Amino acid sequence: MRVTFYGVRGSVPAPGPSTARYGGNTSCVGVSLSDGSLIILDAGTGIRTLGNELVKLPGSTKAHLLLSHTHWDHILGLPFFPPLWQSETHLLVYPLSSDAQERFQRTIFDDIHFPVSANDIPSRIEFEKPTSEDWRIGSARVQRIALNHPGGAQGFRIDDDDGSSLAYLTDNELGVENATQGTRDQLAKFADGASLLIHDSQYLREDMPDKLGWGHSVVDDVLELGVLAEPARLALFHHDPDRSDDALDAIGDHARHWLREHSSETDLVVAREGLTLVLG
């Protein structure tokens, strides 16, 4: 399994000189499975760069798009995904309820927010509705889990037949008293022993309590999850749009020191655009 980060910011794109190293695009991660299947995690503005790469490849594009939820920063890039405008493209979108699917189509491709309606898109788009909490995509088993985020969100675990595994848990607030979903214990079990755990780490302890209830996690809470889940690698993700490259460097240094102090063997990664990790 190969995992590439195309967008790592949360909430809103943050281009500019102070974010150039880690990147300013919003959430999008490309996952290439051992059988060649392509999974795309979220359709933030980073999906445009992924699409530019795909249209340069020989043959047609087939991709499986897994959406954590449909807040703007996770879907805004889809109209600008170049393969969408090629008739030979086949895009399968998972796993939205009927209401979410209707809102998704109506909000993005409505002739008001974008000049092309859903009916005029030339590519073949299918909305998949798995009947259980796990299903197959190519060479991988995919599982989902409910997260703690306003309006709801879902995380995914992808286990490839080559033995590699990825847990993608973004837009989740850890450490909330009396939470019933997206808790540390639930997610530690879900992500147990993953080759790579990607988790929302938008906030620092000093951002609280002002950001309490916003649906995003404090870095130290994510590190505690990492100690419990024991992934081979832990990627801090969904960076605050106001967090500069230098600030993210400092967060990375703090996180590595914290993990060493807690005798964790997990490798710490601060996600940045263009970073590719080969798992397994």
Query: pLDDT of 161-203, one tens digit each?
Result: 999 999 999 999 999 989 999 999 999 999 999 999 999 999 9
Domain ranges of the chain: 2-278
Average pLDDT over residues 5-15: 98
Q: Is the pLDDT of residue 102 over 80?
A: no
pLDDT at 271: 99
Please name the residues in contact with 181: beta carbons below 8 A apart, sequence gap of 6 or more. 145, 146, 147, 148
The Cβ of residue 14 has, within 10 Å, a number of other Cβ atoms equal to 20
The structure tokens listed for 100 are 């979410």
Amino acid code (one letter) for 276: T
In which band, very low, low, confident or very high, does the pLDDT at 77 lie, cut at 50, 70 and 90? Answer: very high
Average pLDDT over residues 216-223: 98
Average pLDDT over residues 110-123: 86
Rounded Cα distance, 90 and 174, in Å? 36
Q: From the CA atom positions of the chain, what is the Rg in Å?
A: 18
- State the chain's mean pLDDT as an integer: 95
Q: Is the pLDDT of residue 97 over 70?
A: no
Q: Which whole-number Å values give the CA distances from 39 to 4, 6, 52, 80, 244, in the listed order? A: 11, 13, 16, 18, 29
Say what the pTM is. Answer: 0.96
Q: Half-sphere exposure of 17 toward its Cβ, with a 13 Å CA cutoff? A: 0
Q: Is the pLDDT of residue 145 over 70?
A: yes
Rounded Cα distance, 123 and 59, in Å? 14
Average pLDDT over residues 245-250: 99
Q: Is the pLDDT of residue 225 over 90?
A: yes
Q: Is the pLDDT of residue 98 over 70?
A: no
Q: Is the pLDDT of residue 204 over 90?
A: yes
pLDDT at 183: 97
Q: Is the pLDDT of residue 99 over 70?
A: no
pLDDT at 79: 95
Rounded Cα distance, 194 and 159, in Å? 9
The structure tokens listed for 169 are 């848990």
CATH class of the domain whose range is 2-278: alpha beta
Rounded Cα distance, 160 and 54, in Å? 22
Q: Half-sphere exposure of 144 toward its Cβ, with a 13 Å CA cutoff? A: 21
